[in-house]
């Protein structure tokens, strides 16, 4: 009987988590199958009265959605990798090494993330122009890496701190260099942290609008968030089409989460802290 | 022997490891920030048609007598005080629930991450629609269960309520993500040992989970506070600051000054005040955490 | 076939004065323009190509960006604050020329135009005020827009009513029709009550109609009692049930969609709504009429002008060429071309009665008088601050968190702070 009760609680908890997390996304999915006029019906309808895929057809024919997706994937992947690399080195240094101004360095890195982007746009634009980087992938990859650097550094630091220094020393005795120990021992053991930092950085890049709008105005380098606003007119806001585009934008992230969760994270964590 | 020699000293290694971070920050941020500080000391306002003059700290002093600044500061403070603890508690709850053993992990994990993956600007629009007086899901549910409906955004209180709820929903996902990774790093043996000592669930939570989660909580708290102080997209898209300008935040005021009014000097000064508040808050947090550790 | 012949005749009529023929040897100048999806880049392309055909030295590249006013302001502000030369000319919202002039972002066009007064007299009257700042011609009209009163022809006919001349008439008609229809979801009047730019127009309509101005000769002439009455008029529609209580959140798009779904009797909205009302996904095809906006009792009918203006970037390396092109684009044949091909409202009054245009867009006949009655929102470099003040206080009254009188007084205090 207690097992049954525990099972029931688990089902309730899981349903709560699913509804809380997925309801808005589900609503967008349902909206993408409705017509504009159905959205103005009272009382409102939950399920589409006449489901239609027309909005997806519109979404794909009006704008080069696959191109925007590809651009977003390229920018998000490279900036995530860059942030993880830079943040991992910095976090390791801040955790493991004796340094006089540790707090100040950390404070500096965090302070950087606290300036409202809109005020930094013009000088950033000028820097990128002088480097001839406007309308290119690096124009977004580097700033996005900076956006996520503080949070990634802090997250990685907390996980590096939980890894016993002895493990590294042992590895170094076995003939690893310090970099080797970082790569082979520390990073795998901090896998949940690396995953978390990676997702945070990826989503940060995936969602960013202001820089993408200002720096990559050439349609060939346009990313998804800017692309989605192109469905809007000066006044028009076609929810069904925008929903379709949003669904297209959310699916890659969902796939990423599922794949990482099942393949990478569970694998690494189960093999991890046994020793 | 050769490998040992290849290992540089801590200080040299520290510089080496930190240099990519400094290069990136220096290249992308330091120059803009220096320019921003410079701007904040001028009265540059493009819509005045005049070149900016150096005016010292006039922009900063002027803020204290600026009613819009005071009002947006108050709004930002209220939203921070409500949504930081709200987001932290909701996130902790979600992380604990998601950390239970499920046969399939990915559906729960996906549900946990979805709010975070939802584009920020559209989150505001979607929730504004949920709270819409006529076409909103919230009123529809209230109608179905026979409760009175309301026009949420006609009231200052309920506008704050709807905005706060949206921010808490969105940010709890971020908090849960950071905390869940922390929970997974806690060795199972510790719980087993505690159980053998006769500790119940609550004692285990107090004695094992919370202390070991402290660093992760600190990270989440710092970033939750900074993002709360910078709240922009959700009120901007949900209420556009209304009713009136009751829900206009400091970050919205920066935007209004910089993009709408082209009062670049004033905008820079507000941005720097905002950044300073964030900096002070994170330093205070870090002090507290280190003192507790 | 018809279209082709129109094009040739229209362009043959072009005054050659500003279509400078250059020697073939001259290298082509590439002119880059910023426009949005809204402006039908494909139709604009035709206009640009026609120009290039007559003037082979100039080629135009289109940079098409997001259409929302915020995204445009963000983009243009960044590029122009950085004094970037990549854009040669742009289309500006009618409320922006004064700000662009003050920021020295747009080249004054006076010397290129010659007799400014004579030229501006040819356009709809509101544009002479909107595009000139302290005697400086900042931009030239591209295409027009204005606020209209949309009404349900079928319902008014059913109750033997004619479009209302005053807001009092409108209230009575709305009450009569909604009472007769017994449909609780039918709104009498829909307008923009959300704190958006459109709300500024909403507020100004009765204020102007009563004969008042916000700014006269650069000086604030805000009439507090009149503002209070304008606010009371709109608030009255909510309290007497003609408009729903949710109107304080209604954006332009909400008004349009509610009307399109057949849930609104009268709507105050911009011109873009017309085509959508007649399109698929509309419950009101063929049931829509357009009228001049009602006046306040004893006042005149006034509308609020919108539309887009061609301006030349102060940072362009090709200013003379860009100015010539902008003059071409703001000429009568192009306005007619845009009216026929893209259904964009003309900036010249006589095109509203042009048979070629009316064949494609019969409703322009009704639109003409509305455009002729339209006025320009205050022309000041501080317009955005003025707009913010009006729309937030207006919204507070619509939401019921502030009384009309208090809001009018508050507006005055805030406007004084901005305009001195």
Mean pLDDT by 10 residues, chain C (420 residues): 44 41 57 82 90 91 85 90 94 94 96 94 96 94 97 97 97 97 94 95 98 91 97 97 96 95 97 93 95 96 96 96 96 96 95 96 96 96 95 97 96 92
Look at the block and give the residue holding tokens 């002479």.
C128
**Chains interfacing with A (3 or more CB pairs < 8 Å):** B, C
**Best of C77, C238, C249 to mutate (most B CBs within 10 Å, chain B):** C249
What value of ipTM does the predicted structure carry? 0.89
Q: Do B243 and C81 touch (CB under 8 A)?
A: no
Tens digit of pLDDT for each residue in B245-262? 999 999 999 999 999 999
Q: Residue B285: exposed, middle, or buried by beta-carbon count in 10 A (0-12, 13-18, 19+)?
A: middle
Alpha-carbon distances of B241 from B72, C185, C392, rounded to whole Å: 10, 28, 8
Domain B71-263: give its CATH architecture: Orthogonal Bundle (1.10)
CB of C258 less than 8 A from some CB of A: yes
Least confident of B24-38, B62-76, B98-112: B98-112
Tokens for A223? 């990313």
The C-alpha angle with vertex C401 and arms to C398 and C402, in degrees rounded to 5, equals 80
**At which residue do the structure tokens 């005080």 appear?**
B81
The secondary element (H helix, E strand) that includes residue C91 is strand C89-93
Same domain? For C174 and C66 the reply is no
- Same domain assignment for residues C286 and C220: yes
Cβ <8 Å between A40 and C260: yes
Residues in chain B with CB shorter than 8 Å from the CB of C245 are 133, 151, 154
Q: Which of B151, B241, B258 sits opposite C246 (nearest CB)?
A: B151
Residues of chain A with pLDDT under 70: 1-2, 99-100, 113, 262-275
* Residue C347 to chain A, least CA–CA distance (Å): 19
Distance from CA of C320 to the nearest CA of A (A): 25
Residues of B in contact with C315 (CB under 8 A): none
Check residue B292 and give its pLDDT.
Answer: 59
In terms of DSSP bridges, do strands C303-312 and C140-146 run parallel, antiparallel, or are they unpaired?
A: antiparallel
Domain range summary for chain A, segments of one domain joined by +:
63-230
Question: Where are chain B's structural domains?
Answer: 71-263
CATH code of residue C321: 3.40.190.10
Residues of the domain holding C174:
148-302+380-419
Tell whether C55 and C173 lie within a shared domain. no
| For range B262-288, the mean pLDDT | 87
Q: Least CB-CB distance to C78: which of A121, A219, A229?
A: A121
Q: Which residue of B has its CA nearest to A197?
A: B178
Name chain A contacts of B113, Cβ cutoff 8 Å.
21, 199, 253, 257
CB contact under 8 A, C64 and A219: yes
* Overall number of domains in chain C: 2
Residues of A in contact with B180 (CB under 8 A): 192, 196
Q: Where are the alpha helices (DSSP H) in chain B?
A: 2-6, 10-25, 31-40, 58-64, 67-98, 106-117, 120-130, 137-144, 156-184, 188-196, 201-204, 210-229, 233-238, 250-255, 264-292
Instruction: Give the pLDDT score at A109.
Output: 81
Q: Tokens 């729309």 correspond to what residue? A: C391
Whole-number Å distance between alpha carbons of A234 and C306: 12
d(CA A32, CA C7): 40
pLDDT attached to residue B289: 65
On whether the CB atoms of residues C89 and C325 are closer than 8 A, the answer is yes
pLDDT at C69: 80
- Say yes or no for a CB contact (<8 Å) between B106 and A262: yes
Cβ distance of A127 and B111 shorter than 8 Å: no
Q: Name the neighbours of B, counting chains with at least 3 Cβ pairs within 8 A.
A: A, C
Of the candidates C194, C196, C388, the beta carbon closest to that of B260 is on C388
Closest CA to A265 of A198, A165, A179, A205: A198
Q: Contact A230/C37, CB-based, under 8 Å?
A: yes
What is the model's pTM? 0.91
Closest residue, chain C, to A42 (C-alpha) = C185
3-class DSSP assignment, residue C132 = strand
pLDDT at B214 over 80: yes
Does A116 contact B251 at a Cβ distance shorter than 8 Å? yes
Q: Output the average pLDDT for chain B.
A: 89
Architecture of the domain defined by A63-230: Orthogonal Bundle (1.10)
Which domain-ending residue is among C356, C372, C388? C372
Instruction: Give the pLDDT confidence score for residue C23 in this predicted structure.
Output: 38
- Contacts of residue A13 in chain B, CB cutoff 8 Å? 97, 100
B238 by DSSP, 3-state: which? helix
What would the mean pLDDT of B114-137 be, rounded to a whole number? 92
CA nearest to C102, candidates C381, C395, C407: C381
Q: Is the pLDDT of residue B3 over 50?
A: no
DSSP state of B209: I
Secondary structure element (H or E) that encloses residue A199, with its range = helix A191-207
**Mean pLDDT score, B38-62:** 92
C381 → chain B, closest CA residue: B47
Close Cβ partners of A13 (under 8 Å, ≥ 6 residues apart): B97, B100
Smallest CA-to-CA distance from B178 within B219, B222, B117 is with: B219
Asked whether residue C143 is assigned to any structural domain, the reply reads no
Contacts with B49 from chain C: Cβ below 8 Å:
101-104, 381
8 Å CB contact of B245 and C195: yes
pLDDT digits 0-9 by tens, A154-186? 889 888 887 888 888 888 888 887 778 877 888
Chain segment A44-92, per-residue pLDDT in tens:
999 999 999 999 999 999 889 999 999 999 999 999 999 999 999 999 9
């Amino acid at each position: 009987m207690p097992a049954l009760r525990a099972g029931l609680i688990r089902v309730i908890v899981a349903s709560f988590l699913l509804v809380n997390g997925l309801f808005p996304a589900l609503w967008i999915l349902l909206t993408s199958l409705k017509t504009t006029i159905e959205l103005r019906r009272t009382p409102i309808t939950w399920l589409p009265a006449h489901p239609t895929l027309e909005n997806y057809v519109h979404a794909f024919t009006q704008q080069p959605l696959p191109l925007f997706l590809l651009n977003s994937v390229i920018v998000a992947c490279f900036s995530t990798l860059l942030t993880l690399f830079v943040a991992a080195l910095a976090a390791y240094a801040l955790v493991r090494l004796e340094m006089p101004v540790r707090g100040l360095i950390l404070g500096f890195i965090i302070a950087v993330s606290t300036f409202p982007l809109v005020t930094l746009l013009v000088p950033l634009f000028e820097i990128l122009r002088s480097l001839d980087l406007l309308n290119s992938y690096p124009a977004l990859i580097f700033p996005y890496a900076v956006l996520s650097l503080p949070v990634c550094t802090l997250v990685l630091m907390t996980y590096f701190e939980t890894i016993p220094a002895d493990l590294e020393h042992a590895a170094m005795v076995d003939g690893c260099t310090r970099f080797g120990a970082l790569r082979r021992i520390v990073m795998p053991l901090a896998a949940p942290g690396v995953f978390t930092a990676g997702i945070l950085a990826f989503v940060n890049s995936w969602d960013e609008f202001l820089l993408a709008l200002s720096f990559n105005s050439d349609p060939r380098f346009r990313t998804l968030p800017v692309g989605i606003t192109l469905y809007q007119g000066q006044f028009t806001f076609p929810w069904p089409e925008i929903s379709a585009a949003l669904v297209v934008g959310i699916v890659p992230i969902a796939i990423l989460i599922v794949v990482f969760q099942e393949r990478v994270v569970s694998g690494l964590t189960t093999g991890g802290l046994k020793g | 022997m050769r490998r040992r020699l290849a290992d540089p000293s801590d200080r040299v290694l520290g510089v080496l490891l930190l240099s990519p971070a400094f290069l990136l920050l220096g290249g992308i941020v330091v120059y803009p920030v220096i320019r921003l500080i410079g701007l904040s000391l001028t009265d540059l306002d493009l819509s005045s048609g005049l070149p900016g003059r150096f005016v010292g700290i006039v922009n900063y002093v002027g803020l204290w007598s600026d009613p819009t600044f005071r009002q947006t500061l108050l709004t930002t403070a209220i939203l921070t005080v409500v949504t930081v603890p709200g987001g932290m508690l909701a996130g902790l709850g979600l992380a604990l629930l998601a950390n239970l053993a499920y046969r399939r992990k990915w559906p729960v994990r996906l549900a946990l991450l979805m709010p975070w993956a939802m584009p920020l600007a559209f989150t505001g629009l979607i929730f504004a629609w949920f709270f819409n007086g006529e076409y909103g899901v919230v009123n529809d549910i209230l109608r179905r269960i026979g409760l009175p409906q309301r026009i949420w955004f006609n009231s200052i209180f309920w506008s704050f309520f709807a905005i706060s709820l949206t921010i808490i929903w969105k940010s709890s996902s971020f908090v849960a993500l950071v905390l869940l990774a922390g929970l997974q790093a806690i060795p199972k043996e510790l719980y087993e040992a505690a159980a053998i000592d006769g500790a119940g669930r609550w004692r285990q939570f107090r004695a094992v989970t919370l202390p070991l989660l402290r660093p992760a909580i600190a990270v989440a708290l710092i970033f939750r506070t900074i993002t709360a102080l910078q709240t922009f997209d959700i009120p901007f898209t949900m209420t556009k600051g209304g009713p009136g300008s009751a829900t206009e935040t400091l970050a919205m005021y920066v935007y209004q000054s910089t993009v709408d009014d082209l009062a670049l000097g004033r905008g820079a000064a507000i941005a720097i005040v905002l950044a300073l508040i964030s900096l002070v808050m994170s330093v205070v947090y870090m002090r507290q955490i280190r003192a507790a550790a | 076939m018809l279209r082709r012949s129109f094009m040739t005749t229209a362009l043959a009529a072009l005054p050659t004065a500003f279509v400078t023929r250059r020697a073939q040897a001259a290298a082509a100048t590439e002119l880059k323009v910023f426009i949005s999806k809204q402006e039908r880049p494909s139709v604009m392309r035709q206009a640009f190509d026609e120009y290039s055909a007559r003037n082979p030295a100039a080629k135009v590249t289109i940079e098409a960006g997001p259409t929302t006013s915020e995204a445009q302001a963000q983009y243009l502000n960044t590029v122009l604050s950085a004094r970037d030369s990549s854009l040669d000319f742009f289309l500006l919202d009618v409320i922006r020329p004064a700000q662009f002039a003050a920021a020295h972002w747009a080249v004054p066009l006076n010397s290129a135009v010659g007799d400014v007064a004579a030229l501006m007299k040819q356009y709809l009257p509101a544009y002479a005020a909107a595009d000139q700042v302290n005697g400086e011609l900042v931009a030239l009209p591209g295409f027009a827009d204005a606020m209209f009163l949309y009404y349900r022809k079928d319902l008014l006919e059913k109750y033997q009513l004619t479009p209302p001349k005053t807001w009092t008439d409108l209230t009575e008609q709305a009450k009569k029709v909604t009472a007769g229809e017994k449909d609780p979801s039918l709104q009498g009047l829909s307008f923009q009550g959300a704190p958006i730019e459109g709300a500024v127009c909403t507020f100004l309509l009765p204020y102007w109609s009563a004969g008042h101005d916000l700014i006269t000769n650069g000086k604030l002439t805000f009439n507090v009692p009149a503002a209070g009455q304008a606010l009371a008029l709109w608030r009255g529609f909510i309290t007497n049930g003609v408009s729903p209580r949710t109107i304080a959140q209604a954006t332009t798009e909400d008004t349009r969609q509610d009307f399109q779904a057949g849930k609104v009797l009268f709507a105050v909205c911009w011109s873009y709504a017309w085509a959508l009302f007649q399109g698929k996904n509309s419950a009101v095809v063929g049931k829509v009429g357009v009228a001049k906006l009602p006046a306040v009792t004893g006042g005149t009918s006034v509308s609020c002008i919108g539309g887009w203006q061609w301006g030349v970037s102060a940072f362009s390396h090709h200013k003379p060429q860009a100015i010539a092109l902008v003059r071409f684009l703001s000429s009568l044949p192009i306005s007619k071309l845009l009216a026929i091909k893209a259904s964009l409202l003309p900036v010249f009054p006589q095109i509203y009665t042009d048979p070629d245009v009316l064949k494609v867009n019969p409703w322009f006949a009704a639109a003409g008088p509305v455009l002729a009655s339209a006025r320009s929102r205050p022309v000041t470099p501080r317009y955005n601050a003025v707009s913010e003040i009006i729309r937030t206080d207006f919204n507070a009254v619509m939401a019921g968190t502030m009384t009309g009188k208090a809001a009018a007084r508050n507006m005055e205090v805030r406007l004084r702070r901005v305009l001195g």
